[in-house]
Amino acid sequence: MLLFFGIFTLISKHSFFKNTPFSKCSLQLAFFLRMSSSLTVFYLYSEYYTVRAEADTFKYFDDSYFMAKAFWEHPVDFLQMLLGLDCNTAYFHNNYFNDMSNWVRSYDNGLLNDNRLVIRFNALIRIFSFGNYHVHALIFNLMAFVGSVSLGKVFYAVSKSKLKSYFSVFLIPSVIFWSSGIFKESILLFALGLFLFHFYQVSKGKGSIKSSLILLFTLGILIVMKLYVFLAFLPACVCYFISRKHENPLRVYLSGYCIFILLAMSLAAFAPQYSFIYLIVDKQRDFINLSQFFEVNSAFAMDYLEPTLWSLIKASPEAILNVFTKPWLGEVNSLLFIPPLCENVLLFVLLVLCFSWRKKISLDQAKFILFCFAFTFLVYLIIGLTTPITGALVRYKIPAVPFIWFSFLMILNTHKFPKGLRKNKLYLWLHSYL
């Protein structure tokens, strides 16, 4: 409880939070909503999804116990495991790793094991948390909140709208839920938000040594945590940076993505083990086999991809559609599917409104919207091609969700709202409160 109030005080006092377009009270409200969601996560996984070894919010936390106990008993062992120094030996496996359920993944596609970063981070927190789940949840929530605030700063710099920026980063239920527990998404949102904020500063000529160091640090986290997010983010960032001084940003993005595809195919020719086609095909095969082995309730039929570029191209429209529209009404077999279903409906309504009530946007805003669409499209494409489970689709697209919502809200002209809504006391109060 003391830590919770300490964070509330930090939000009102620290310069990072004070130097935002949002009021102190609105930021504290956003963090309170996040913590309320964290308690909901704890309750759901305690009462309804009771197999702790399969519950994401508990399994990395539980595994960290075996590493953290070494801090008190064998501190050198702890330091080696924390830093990954010469710990892939029989000694460490027999004394620590074999007791963990998630140190070794059920499938290994040759990519970095992001489970281990989360276990290590939890083990580090255990030194002073004494194994209290809620202390860990508070720290994970603070990290995700820092990422959200960073995104909000960039969104406001582009849009000059507090309401649109605040809604995009703080009020989307699925984003709040899946980044409010001890989840990988909390760390991912932290890295994504900070990276974008400092990248945006550099793109505007306001970079510094501090910005460069933070960019490298957060880039490393993105690569380790979710490689597909990094692979989607990199070309979008490069194209956005190049498009700053071009009058036709669409041409820059089209040319840039063609070059990236050619580079990826050239790399695959020289180093087949890094072929993006084979990585996607292998990832999909692992996911399908996993869903069949565990008989996942929300799994859906998906044809196996062939290791050819044409196979990926043919499957792409359905892949994008699945990520953009699922869960469908007939697939709602869990309470966790109701919020994303409602979100999808609202997003379609917003898309329709964008056609009717379009706003004239500046060239700089158009460039950023293209950046958001490019990033979202590639995230959705990678997820859609590899993931045959509706629950996983909902969760894996979380990093891109604030970007797609913000893009649509940017296009929407709120001045065309009915006068009764624009003059509504609640609507006016929200503008003044934020």
Indicate if 203 and 308 belong to the same structural domain.
no
| Percent of the chain scoring above 70 in pLDDT | 95
Residue 284 lies in a domain: yes
Indicate if 149 and 281 belong to the same structural domain.
no
With 80 as the cut, is the pLDDT of residue 268 above it?
A: no
> Which of 193, 225, 257 is where one domain is finished?
225
Instruction: Reply yes or no: is the peptide bond before residue 249 cis, omega within 30 of 0.
Output: no
Q: How many helices (H) and strands (E) does the chain have?
A: 22, 0
Indicate if 287 and 378 belong to the same structural domain.
yes
| Percent of the chain scoring above 90 in pLDDT | 58
Residue 241 lies in a domain: no
Tokens of 250: 């669409």
Residue 221 lies in a domain: yes
Tokens of 197: 């904020």
Indicate if 302 and 180 belong to the same structural domain.
no
Residue 94 lies in a domain: yes
Residue 250 lies in a domain: no
Q: Structurally, how many domains does the chain consist of? A: 2
Indicate if 199 and 300 belong to the same structural domain.
no
pLDDT digits 0-9 by tens, 319-372: 999 999 999 888 887 778 888 999 999 999 999 888 888 888 899 999 999 999
Residue 231 lies in a domain: no
Indicate if 52 and 162 belong to the same structural domain.
yes
User: Which segments within 94-185 are labelled E, that is strand?
Assistant: none
Residue 268 lies in a domain: no
Grade residue 58 by pLDDT with cuts at 50, 70 and 90: very high
Indicate if 146 and 292 belong to the same structural domain.
no
With 70 as the cut, is the pLDDT of residue 31 above it?
A: yes
Domain span holding position 75: 1-225
For residues 103, 401, 389, 309, the Cα torsion angle rounded to the nearest 10 degrees is -90
Cα angle: 413, vertex 416, 419; to 5 degrees:
140
Residue 96 lies in a domain: yes
